Amino acid sequence: MSSTASAKRVAIIGGGILGVSTAVHLLRDGASVILLTERGLASEASGRSLSWLNSAGERSTPYHQLRVAGVDRYRTLFAADPGRDWLQFGGGLMWNAAGQRAVTEARHSYEKSVGYDSKLLAPEQISSATPGIDAKAVPENAIFNPGEGWVSLPDLVDFLMEEFHALGGELVLNAGKVSVTVEAGRATGVETAAGETYEADAVLVACGAATPAVVAPLGVEIPNGSPVSMLVLTKPLDHGLKAVLNTPRAAVRPNPGSTLALDHDWYEGHITEHADGSFSIPDDVVQELADEASKLIAGNPDLKPASWKIGYKPIPGDGEPVLGELGQVPGCFVAFTHSGATLGLIAGELLAGEILTGAKHPMLATFRPGRFS
């Protein structure tokens, strides 16, 4: 542990997986950390993420490499205790709508070309690869990626916060909208909505879809493509599902407590945002998503929504992660990405290293916020 690390104080805005992960990695390396949340922990995107751990499909090579490293860190955590019901590796299964056989085959070929474990299956082959699925729902073919998994981010945040507190981290809940304070062009700490200030040697802004708005007063523009999304949790039921399902009308994953987590995007037009910032959606639309998910599960069980959360899903304007120090405001770092679950552990590790040492990690080279300048 270096004296520089021990002396460094870091303020983190955001109580989701990116903020909490970075905080714990900083504390492990001897830094002093204060973590501030607008409301509670995992109260925004991390609390309503399908949190599918993967690098499936086609994306830039640096992004693919970072995501594969992200999944690797979860495998390390999983190996320490495979019995955790909030982190499992049961693979991922996806298929397209009828008439898109060639599209699915092309995706499979691409995944194979980059060394990603990918199996192209006919409907009748699915049961031998992964259980709990109604093969009649698959119109032509499907891709099974055996190395993929899922995590319940609220449970992971709780797990990491135990270490956060044990290592002496300071937590400020319900701080409202927090801003970055700057002197002589450099970040010097943060200020809460109530006017409380906290000095720091460095600041990390990791507040999901709100990140671009937090850095905008600093003269930094980060394009924001975040859509409104919803995650539904079902009532408990007996099901044999192990894999994460990504299909034309529903995405489904197992969830602790014998429940299922459901999401998709076809119902975005049914979501209403109110003047106070809250959201609503008709109950029958939520049930329609559950009915679509039921068609995918063996035995087509009657799925009943138990709860659902709606809010903005963080997506940078160009789809690529935004990770690292702001060139215009030294000492201020950002973490803003669509793949917060998959990158949660690796991004926290690499950002903590950059914050403490000043050395830029090569895996983050293409994801710098300066690309928008």
For 95-151, write each residue's pLDDT tens digit: 999 999 999 999 999 999 999 999 999 999 999 999 999 999 999 999 999 999 999
| Residue-range definition of the domain harbouring residue 98 | 89-149+226-312
The CATH number given to whatever domain includes residue 201 is: 3.50.50.60
Q: Answer yes or no: do 307 and 160 share one domain.
A: no
Q: Answer yes or no: do 342 and 353 share one domain.
A: yes
Which amino acid, residue 229? S
Residue 84 lies in a domain: no
Separation between Cα atoms, residue 48 and residue 231, nearest integer Å:
5
Residue 272 neighbours by CB under 8 Å, 6+ apart: 279, 280, 281
The CATH number given to whatever domain includes residue 121 is: 3.30.9.10
Q: Domain boundary at 312, 341, 362, which? A: 312
Residue 225 has pLDDT above 70, yes or no: yes
Tokens of 248: 């034309």
Q: Answer yes or no: do 157 and 305 share one domain.
A: no
Separation between Cα atoms, residue 260 and residue 237, nearest integer Å:
8
Separation between Cα atoms, residue 176 and residue 192, nearest integer Å:
6
DSSP calls for 216-281: GGGT----B-PPEEEEEEEPP------SEEE-SS-EEEEETTTEEEEE-STTGGG-EE-TTS-EE-
With H, G, I as helix, E, B as strand and everything else as coil, classify residue 212.
helix
Residue 64 lies in a domain: no
Q: Alpha-carbon dihedral of residues 132, 138, 140, 142, nearest 10 degrees?
A: -50
What is the average per-residue pLDDT within 6-24? Answer: 94
Q: Domain boundary at 288, 312, 336, which? A: 312
Mean pLDDT (the chain) is 97
Q: Answer yes or no: do 217 and 165 share one domain.
A: yes
Q: What is the pLDDT of residues 181-214, one digit of tens each?
A: 999 999 999 999 999 999 999 999 999 999 999 9
Q: Domain boundary at 268, 288, 312, which? A: 312
Task: For the chain, report the end-to-end CA distance as a whole number of angstroms.
Answer: 36
Residue 3: predicted pLDDT: 43
Residue 74 lies in a domain: no
Q: Answer yes or no: do 241 and 144 share one domain.
A: yes
Residue 102 lies in a domain: yes
Residue 111 lies in a domain: yes
Residue 373: predicted pLDDT: 84
pLDDT band for 1, please (50, 70, 90 cuts).
Answer: very low
Q: Count of domains in the chain?
A: 2
Q: Answer yes or no: do 190 and 251 share one domain.
A: no
Residue 193 lies in a domain: yes
Q: Answer yes or no: do 133 and 254 share one domain.
A: yes
Q: Answer yes or no: do 116 and 164 share one domain.
A: no
Q: Answer yes or no: do 306 and 163 share one domain.
A: no
